[in-house]
Structure 1
């Protein structure tokens, strides 16, 4: 996984200008809008296999928009910055202080799928936008919106159709070596496999990718051992192939108990994994005296509604029916998935709508004696884009505050005439149902 800081480009400033031509004595406002800043976009690319491009470079910023000009010439929008990542990349928003996950931004699983992770700042509007029936010649324009940087985490999960899961030394590595061309490290002691292995399996007319997930232990769903590190790779797979060492291994474990433990750990980590299609595999069935154990495990699998196969990774016994069944099941699951998903998704529109909804919200909290702090992305944007040296612009800001309901919110919170209202580094004097035009910029 990689943590990177992303920032869109700043928006260009709008222009305050009036038409000045010979024989046009009263030319109207003609200032152009500033260009929007470029976005930082993350796109899934099937040609990539790792996040190594983000190992040493951690800061990415898109191009800024240019300023508007007179004669209604709008500024040029900044170019988007497109960052390519492998299929299977999950993008998390991080808390700026603790760097903990706050929410998931996207899960890119289709080639060409993309998402805007850092929108560019909006370009400021030129003065023609502020013409009203009573304000015929607005002598102000908006500043460009500065883009905000934030930290995100890129987490790569395996893109496999099926996952071999089970206790340590259940024989998963031996199975993937038998089923595919993968050559993992194989030994008779626990935790031989420390990283997942991938193998391509040919099953008659079908083929599928299988992942050998390192051995799980009881408590893995709570993070014991390397539980979370391994379990996260299982979330994406369509089919779970649950491998049980029917002999109990060198530790003499109870295979039925092993089956129960892994089953419960999967459900505890992600409840939807309990209903994921699953095949139960009794491995090492070439060992003598295993008939009763095989029958008992077969019965448990049947109770849970899972197909059951008794195999030997050592001799290859029973593997061909298992491979053909898994290939057919993966093919059916793929067909179902293709019906429920579009070819390539651009989630930017959905995420942008969610972002706008979040930014429209604001809160008013008491801060000291007769002082109130207002927090909210949209309100803070209005303050940043206001030209404080222009009285008309400040008056317009007051009308915008009333329009979005800030005055009413302050009244409900208990603000009184003369109270100080703080937004970012700017303070206002509250005058009942409006703000005093005189503002104080605090450092």
Structure 2
């Protein structure tokens, strides 16, 4: 089964709790704090792997979770880090945020187009720090430690787009599957009725000089850019290819279609689906040229291809691109013209590969970009007024601080107050209109707001 779009839930491992402990040995009076740190939770990583050909593994299993970190212990014994969970996906997988409730996709996380490229999607929680970290000149024996941080969790959409050098496109039953079977070892289903091919087929072509990968994309129809037929499901696979091979049935198939009109219809569909596809390098292949009575249509098609090339060249009929705009006459049945088409296609693919090498040096490092964007987003603090005298504070970083605090420990609460001061939370609340005595909610906790003129900024409420 070919699966090219799935939605999965990912959760990193929770961080282990730090330890509150003091050194206890014979002949060592008043031993200092020695509580170890909790281990970090494991990350969930998506990694492009050439041995994976589809997303079928994620069709039925949708929830994945990394290992949690273990708790710290006394004698400065730190907890073990949770093991990362590495999920293999096909090369060419696009990863986006996904909202399971609204069924809408969000920001792009990564576009994994190279073997071994990976991105951390659900980061494991940080391990809580042991009490050895909270010693100061005035706090010689801290009696608190941090709890482990909950891991990040999210739904993502995985969308696979084929990674092929060339894509065979055209109307249904024009002979795309027959051509890929002729030029490669691929053995797609071939029959004389529309939509025989329901999923894209990949084949490796061994040319005299160059090898390349070609994709047989299921047939398109007029209106495919709007999703008619299976338009959207197939058109997205063309976005990856370096060159488009436009296959046309010169006999008009059993429907008696006009080959030149077919040529224009497919070109329009590609342009309407994605504007950049209109400028994608392409060659035109006239199939079934072994049949009699098609010479007139061949000349009309060649004229149409040349006319389009002149338009693309800004009216310069002597441009190199116009000279290259030829129609390759082939027959997938007899093999006529196949070798010359393969040689031309191989040369063009090689040329495009060489041109792409320079761009490859500046490829986006998604792990760094995504982490940078996520880190900036995590530090944001938003204060919302829920009702008169009630405010909610939101933000990944500040919520994490609240969750990691041991609420049964007064020293831990005082340390949290200090962290709030460093974040400038009081100024944000005052700017939002909070006054003394207002209720401030963070995650599942509620506090009475007191400005810094008072002894404590927050006094916890029972809710």
TM over 0.5: yes
Q: Does 1:332 align with 2:351?
A: yes
Residue-by-residue CA offset, 1:184-231 (whole Å, 9 max, x unaligned): 333444323222122222221211111111122233222222111101
Q: Distance in 2 between matches of 1:185 and 1:77?
A: 50
Q: Does 1:294 align with 2:312?
A: no
SS in 2 for 1:193: coil
Matches within 5 A, 1:294-373: 294-303=301-310, 304=312, 305=321, 307-313=325-331, 314-341=333-360, 347-373=366-392
Residue-by-residue CA offset, 1:146-170 (whole Å, 9 max, x unaligned): 2243222333322211101122233
Q: Which moved more, 1:29-38 or 1:109-118?
A: 109-118
What displacement does 1:411 show? 1.8
SS in 2 for 1:178: helix
Q: Distance in 1 between matches of 2:254 and 2:307?
A: 23
SS in 1 for 2:145: coil
SS in 1 for 2:238: coil
Matches within 5 A, 1:17-416: 17-286=21-290, 287-303=294-310, 304=312, 305=321, 307-313=325-331, 314-341=333-360, 347-416=366-435
1:80/1:291 Cα in 2 relative to 1: closer, same or farther (>3 Å)? closer
Q: Distance in 2 between matches of 1:308 and 1:351?
A: 44
Q: Distance in 2 between matches of 1:177 and 1:268?
A: 30
Q: Distance in 2 between matches of 1:357 and 1:256?
A: 53
What displacement does 1:387 show? 0.7
SS in 2 for 1:292: helix
8 Å CA contact 2:14, 2:124 repeated in 1: yes
Residue-by-residue CA offset, 1:273-299 (whole Å, 9 max, x unaligned): 233222223334442322431332231
Q: Distance in 1 between matches of 2:37 and 2:364?
A: 31
Q: Which moved more, 1:242-251 or 1:116-125?
A: 242-251
Q: Distance in 1 between matches of 2:27 and 2:325?
A: 88
8 Å CA contact 2:260, 2:297 repeated in 1: no
- The runs of 5 or more residues in structure 1 that have no matched partner are none
What displacement does 1:78 show? 0.9
8 Å CA contact 1:66, 1:77 repeated in 2: yes
What displacement does 1:257 show? 4.0
**So what's the TM-score if we normalise by structure 2?**
0.87
8 Å CA contact 2:259, 2:297 repeated in 1: no
Q: Distance in 2 between matches of 1:167 and 1:30?
A: 73
Q: Distance in 1 between matches of 2:245 and 2:84?
A: 43
Q: Distance in 2 between matches of 1:239 and 1:441?
A: 66
SS in 2 for 1:367: strand
What displacement does 1:440 show? 2.5
SS in 1 for 2:97: strand
What displacement does 1:315 show? 4.0
What displacement does 1:246 show? 4.3
What displacement does 1:426 show? 0.7
Q: Distance in 1 between matches of 2:440 and 2:309?
A: 67
Residue-by-residue CA offset, 1:112-157 (whole Å, 9 max, x unaligned): 2222222111001112322334333322111001224322233332
Number of aligned residue pairs: give it. Answer: 442
Q: Distance in 2 between matches of 1:441 and 1:268?
A: 59
Q: Distance in 2 between matches of 1:266 and 1:9?
A: 44
SS in 2 for 1:90: strand
8 Å CA contact 1:302, 1:308 repeated in 2: no
- The runs of 5 or more residues in structure 2 that have no matched partner are 313-320
8 Å CA contact 1:93, 1:104 repeated in 2: yes
What displacement does 1:177 show? 2.7
SS in 2 for 1:232: helix
